[in-house]
Amino acid sequence: MLKKNNFFKKYFSSSLKFKKNLIKTKKIFKSFVKDLENGEIPLLNSYEKNYKFDFSKTTVKKFSKYENIVVIGMGGSILGTKSIYSFLKKKIKKKVFFFDNLDSNLYLQLKKIKNNSCFVAVSKSGDTLETITNLRKVISKNLLKNRLVIITELKNSDLMQIGIKYNAEIIEHKEFISGRYSVLSESCMFPAALMGLNLYKFKNLKKFVKNKIFISSLIQNVSGIYTLNTEGIINSVIFNYDSCLNDLAYWYQQLSAESLGKKRKGIYPSISFGPKDHHSLLQLYLDGPKDKFFTFFNVSAKTTTQNKKINTITKAQSDAVKNIFNSKKIPFRQFTFSRKNESELGEIFTFLVLETILLSRLINVNPFDQPAVEEVKIETKRLLKR
């Protein structure tokens, strides 16, 4: 999946600024590795194979008997699970339903959910308004019946109170793992276990930080984005050409926006869907302001005869855009997925998380908090108390 020449090929071939930033990025990476070895980034423990989950095989077996899984959460508490499900859907025999917004249309899904279902509610704080609201809607339909799992910090909260009342299985959401970085921790790995996936195939952090191709790609990539950022090119367009990658794109969008968007700094990530957006946004991308860089998501997996023609057309359209981008010197990089398995998905999760942490160090922001969002939560609670 990762190839050095997949990242901004030709765009920085003669850039002195890029070469200087490449040296700077290498120094930042060495500092990061030291912090990693010294245990100063505890959330990355969950990206290691030896990370101990706060749930047992017995718990997984108990809830795996249900045909349907209903996941209730918001933002980082659910986007990772959605990414896993959509990326690996062909391997998963169960139906998974997601409640990830306040939308009355979502409640229509409750009619589709049979009695043979379990419910997983995820909220790090335990007080996420939308999660609690949706969970109470499920409660009103009398669907729980001792089939509830909650993943949250072990403290008094609205979610914890509901869990105790309904005799839920309680799994700890570690305090040091924030939602958008929790994709390989309990919040996403427990639902993944219920889907029948191999959790340990997702995790290879130690292997990756020693892999020359992975690290070379990471450093080249981070240096490229940082150079673009210093030149005022701060709009990041994720150009996705396969629907199984839609949720991965949304996960990455949140990771980048919420981690780096601070102190009047950051990168604005948006998502485009090809080839549909060729007929709406491509004119702007090609001939509008040169303030954007692009990340292409493609799949090269073997397809059935029925889908071969469609995939051939889609690939030609994607390649055509890249060729014109090259000719117009529009910066882009590409990720091409081939195997559609846990290991490959774990690799991109890890790559993009490390990318974000390194970029945060280069632009000097804290990638692990979201102070402005907390202000909105406080104001919402104030308004609801009126």
Domains detected in the chain: 4-36+203-363 (3.40.50.10490), 52-201 (3.40.50.10490)
Mean pLDDT of 166-190: 96
* Res. 77 pLDDT band, cuts 50 70 90: very high
* Res. 304 pLDDT band, cuts 50 70 90: low
Q: Which residues fall within 8 angstroms of residue 264, CB to CB, at 6 or more apart?
A: none
For residue 303, the model assigns a pLDDT of 61
* Res. 305 pLDDT band, cuts 50 70 90: low
For residue 169, the model assigns a pLDDT of 96
* Res. 292 pLDDT band, cuts 50 70 90: very high
| Mean per-residue pLDDT of the chain | 92
Higher model confidence: residue 261 or residue 146? 261
Write out the two tokens for 318. Answer: 């994607």
Mean pLDDT of 351-379: 93
One-letter identity of residue 312: T
Mean pLDDT of 14-28: 94
For residue 272, the model assigns a pLDDT of 98
d(CA 118, CA 147): 5
Q: How many CB atoms lie within 10 A of CB 38?
A: 8
For residue 5, the model assigns a pLDDT of 60
Mean pLDDT of 183-198: 98
For the ranges 6-15, 43-52, 183-192, 346-355, the lowest mean pLDDT is seen at: 6-15
* Res. 4 pLDDT band, cuts 50 70 90: low
- Of the candidates 184, 170, 162, 203, the residue with the CA atom closest to the CA atom of residue 63: 170
pLDDT at 2 over 90: no
d(CA 255, CA 272): 17
- Of the candidates 304, 306, 235, 303, the residue with the CA atom closest to the CA atom of residue 271: 235
HEC profile of the chain: CCCHHHECCCCCCCCHHHHHHHHHHHHHHHHHHHHHHCCCCHHHHHHCCCCCCCCCHHHHHHHHCCCEEEEECCCHHHHHHHHHHHHCHHHCCCEEEEECCCCHHHHHHHHCCCCCEEEEEECCCCCCHHHHHHHHHHHHCCCCCCCEEEEECCCCCHHHHHHHHCCCEEEECCCCCCHHHHHHCHHHHHHHHHCCCCHHHHCCHHHHCCCHHHHHHHHHHHHHHHHHHHCCCCEEEEEECCHHHHHHHHHHHHHHHHHHCCCCCCCEEEEEECCHHHHCCHHHHHHCCCCEEEEEEEECCCCCHHHHHHHHHHHHHHHHHHHHHHHCCCCEEEEEECCCCHHHHHHHHHHHHHHHHHHHHHHCCCCCCCHHHHHHHHHHHHHHCC
d(CA 199, CA 189): 6
pLDDT at 107 over 80: no
Mean pLDDT of 203-229: 95
Write out the two tokens for 250. Answer: 């949304």
* Res. 331 pLDDT band, cuts 50 70 90: very high
- Of the candidates 257, 292, 54, 79, the residue with the CA atom closest to the CA atom of residue 174: 54
Mean pLDDT of 191-197: 98
For the ranges 117-126, 138-147, 344-353, the lowest mean pLDDT is seen at: 138-147
For residue 350, the model assigns a pLDDT of 98
Mean pLDDT of 180-190: 97
Over residues 224-246, the pLDDT tens digits come to: 999 999 999 999 999 999 999 99
For residue 365, the Cα-to-chain-centroid distance in whole angstroms is 20
- Of the candidates 84, 247, 265, 80, the residue with the CA atom closest to the CA atom of residue 178: 80
pLDDT at 178 over 60: yes
Determine the straight-line distance between the first and last CA of the chain, rounded to whole angstroms: 53
Buried-exposed string 79-105: b where 16+ CB fall within 10 A, e elsewhere: bbbbbbbbbbeeebebebbbbbeeeee
Beta bridge pairs of residue 171 = 151
Could you tell me if 248 and 299 are in contact, meaning their C-beta atoms sit under 8 angstroms apart? no
* Res. 138 pLDDT band, cuts 50 70 90: confident
* Res. 3 pLDDT band, cuts 50 70 90: low
| Percent of residues, the chain, with pLDDT higher than 90 | 80
Residue recorded with tokens 């910066």: 331
* Res. 32 pLDDT band, cuts 50 70 90: very high
For residue 87, the model assigns a pLDDT of 96
Backbone angles phi, psi at 293, to 5 degrees: -125, 160
pLDDT at 141 over 80: no
One-letter identity of residue 215: I
Write out the two tokens for 341. Answer: 């398995």
For residue 384, the model assigns a pLDDT of 84
* Res. 122 pLDDT band, cuts 50 70 90: very high
Mean pLDDT of 118-136: 95
pLDDT at 114 over 60: yes
pLDDT at 378 over 70: yes
